[in-house]
Chain A
Amino acid sequence: MKRLVAILLLSVMLSLGVASCTTSKAPDTIRIGYLANITGDGAVWGQAEVNGAKMAVEEINKAGGVLGKQIELFVGDARGNATDGVNAIKKLIEQDKVVAVLGSNYSGINLACAPIVEAAKIPQIGSFPTNPKVTVDEKGNVRPYSFRLCFIDPYQGKVLADFMVKDLAKKKAAILYEVTSDYSVGLSEYFEKRLTELGGEVVAKLAFKQGDVDFRPQLSEIKQKNPEVLLLPNLYKEIALAAKQARELGMSEVIFMGGDGYSNTMLEMAGEELQGSYWVSHFSWEDPGLRGLLEKYTAKYGDTNPEPNAAMGYDIVYFLVDAIKRAGTTDGPALKDAIENAKEVKLQHAVITMDPKTHNPLNKLAAIHVVQGDKIRFLKNYAPQD
């Protein structure tokens, strides 16, 4: 009897499950997924991206949607790591039935997602995953369904080394990098390669692990080598802590530099220590082209100095919508082709032409920032000279 009841219950549950699947199969909206780090260390950026994306979706829906349908945004939380990222993107694709996934901003997460989106034939457009392998595999073949809207680490490393040698006239650098991060390892390598080409030298290169907060042992060793520049190709928490500890250990002259892992938050943590440090990033709010967007964002969310990710979250939605319009369908392969052939798509932060061979945007400028007072100021746009 008990078994019979169990079987009955099970079949009821199964049929309910099937029923709910069938209802969700033909949505009358266009479903877009956004993979972001809503919790964890990177939540500052993830939340800004999702806020920006939500704003864009609202605007587009108000203007009548796309292909006659309204857009619905589904957010998956990658929590800053590849495991949760894979779970979240699987849920977006399999349960939420999204037609494309936007984000994330981490290379490690998008690398792990690449085989999944390829198998599902759902395009994924990363916001800031800067590691080259995110869109091109080890053999040099392009990953068909993986894209990004940012420049890549070799470019960032190149900009940093160029700026250091040509603009700052420094030659001796040390690197403190995170060995568990694809982003950090990649950026260090490309910086080192370019610096050596330009006649400079990396005098010390030491590593730490994800979750570490004390870098004194490594920094004490770096101090012995007297570098002029300390490259911190890390995320803002580690940057702030490392800068603080370096100064405490008496490295008073060294100039800190780093990539787009910086954030305004680090000035609350180590504002004094980071004075005069240089940071490469994708674009700046001080760019006049972004003023309108900044005002809209501030009016909606009350944040006067948001992370630049907010602009990317906003733009990436418009970029995808442009591709959907050109494709005339949300069918995976057709949508992928439309993204691949994007030409001079005007967004708020840049004009994007996609390179079909690498799935990277072509010729993006880098913005150099300097910390002055209580702000990270835009210094200039920069393109390395070959």
Chain B
Amino acid sequence: MILSRVLQQLVNGLSIGSIYALIAVGYSLIYSILRFSNFAHGSFLVVGAYAGFFIVTAMSIPFIPAVLLAILTAGLAAVTTERVAYRPIRERNSPTLYFIIASMGIAIFCEHTIVATIGPKFRTYPRVLAATGVDLGLVSMSKMDVMAAFMAFLFLIVLQYFITRTKQGCAIQAASYDLQAAGLMGVNVNRLVGTVFLIAGILAGLSGVFLGMKYTVYPQLGYLTIKAFVAAIFGGLGSLPGAIAGSLLLGVMEAFIAAFLSSQLRDLFVFSLLIAVLLVKPGGLMGKYVEEKV
């Protein structure tokens, strides 16, 4: 009985955590290159969620290609954002604060544009996978969650391969130490930053599609990214394995505290724990002090 309760909460936590991980990784990646907290990250996610919704409902495209199209849209939105909003700031060598303010502006702009054009109403994805749960005796979960977690890990593995094994990936690693020095070494900085935003956008778009399917699509869906930001910092900003570990841990902690300690005071407990961890390890679980940064 108690085993089944614990396992069930573990599954619940991992299913939330895997989505946090998709968001946190893209967020962490941008941080490691440009050194600022990209609050517009949630907007990429919302773009992906809406793109997926409209592609699936309006065009008769099968589900998997539709998802790929949606996440590509989110990726392009991220690249466009970088080109229009961040590059001018970057080229003027303005303080980091400018990036942060610009990103907040984009987040607010995006939410309100959606409210004004598409409307504040909730949109529901058609049921692609049966809503019925899979009952494994000790635990039950939805097919959707299993697929979401699987896809999340698939994308994260591909990303890890890209960063450690390809030339572009090496350039990104170099840039995460020093963007300017990487530029002096002949790395095309604009293309590199563009690639990073494309990756971040794609991951955010994918999490947007999953969140949309699980929790419906609405203009404020992007607020969920706040938890992922916290997870990224908890895991160690700028470290991809750290972002993943932080996200999964945060998800599991939330589930366990809500179920076994207090559902009312869940966030109080979770965030107190996070503060405690950061006091002991200021860089986060896998931040700064680990040699490999990306």
Residue of B132, B223, B263 near A248 (CB, 8 A) is B132
Contact A269 B5 (CB under 8 A): no
The answer to the question of B140 belonging to the interface, with a C-beta cut-off of 8 Å to chain A, is yes
Question: Is residue B277 contacting chain A, with contact meaning CB distance below 8 A?
Answer: no
Residues of A within 8 A of B215 (CB): 213-214, 241
Q: Do A217 and B216 contact each other (CB < 8 Å), given the known contacts A244-B131, A250-B133, A250-B135?
A: no
Which of B115, B141, B256, B264: most chain A CB closer than 10 A?
Answer: B264
Is A216 a contact of B255 with CB atoms below 8 Å?
Answer: yes
Chain A residues bordering chain B, tally (CB within 8 A): 32
Interface residues of B in 244-290 (CB under 8 A from A): 254-256, 258-259, 263-264, 266-267
Q: How far is the CA of A272 from the CA of B126 in the complex (A)?
A: 12
Contact B220 A40 (CB under 8 A): yes
In the complex the two chains form, is B121's CB within 8 Å of A207's CB? no
CB distance from A276 to the nearest CB of B (A): 16
Q: How far is the CB of B11 from chain A (nearest CB, A)?
A: 8
CB of B15 within 8 A of chain A? Answer: yes
Cα–Cα distance between A216 and B8 once the two chains are bound (Å): 9
In the assembled complex, how far is the CB of residue B168 from the closest CB belonging to chain A, in whole angstroms?
35
Q: Is the interface of B mostly helix, strand, loop or mixed?
A: helix
Contacts of B72 in A (CB 8 A): none
In the assembled complex, A220 has its CB within 8 A of some CB on chain B: yes
Which of chain A's residues have a CB closer than 8 A to the CB of B12? Answer: 214, 216-217, 220
Tell me, in angstroms, the Cα distance from A43 to B9 when the chains sit together.
34
Q: Is A207 in contact with B122, judged by CB distance below 8 angstroms?
A: no
Q: How far is the CA of A224 from the CA of B13 in the complex (A)?
A: 17
Q: Taking the complex as formed, is A209 at the interface, i.e. its CB lies under 8 A from any CB of chain B?
A: yes
B131 and A209 form a contact (CB under 8 A): no
Whether the pair B220, A217 counts as a contact (CB closer than 8 A) is: no
Instruction: Name the B residues within 8 Å of A269 (CB-CB).
Output: 122, 124, 216
Do the beta carbons of B220 and A221 come within 8 Å of each other? no
Q: Name which residue of chain B comes closest to A271, CB basis.
A: B124
CB-based contact B216/A240 at 8 Å: yes
Per-position binary interface string of chain A over residues 233-260, scored 1 when its CB falls under 8 Å from any chain B CB and 0 otherwise: 0000100110010011110000000000
Binary interface encoding of chain B residues 1-29 relative to chain A, with 1 for a CB under 8 A from any of its CBs, else 0: 10001001100110110000000000000
Given A41-B220, A268-B122, A273-B131, residue A217 in contact with residue B263 (CB < 8 A): yes
> Is B120 interfacial (CB 8 A cutoff)?
yes
Contact A40–B5 (Cβ < 8 Å) = no
Interface check B142, CB cutoff 8 A: yes
Docked Cα-Cα span, A207 to B5, in Å, equals 18
Note all chain A residues with C-beta closer than 8 A to B1.
Answer: 224
A273–B132 Cα gap in the complex (Å)? 10
B224 at the interface (CB under 8 A from A): yes
27 pairs, CB–CB < 8 Å, chain A vs chain B: A39-B112, A40-B120, A41-B120, A43-B120, A206-B258, A209-B266, A213-B224, A214-B12, A217-B12, A217-B13, A217-B255, A217-B256, A217-B263, A220-B5, A221-B259, A221-B263, A224-B1, A224-B5, A237-B122, A237-B216, A244-B131, A247-B131, A248-B131, A248-B142, A250-B135, A265-B121, A269-B122
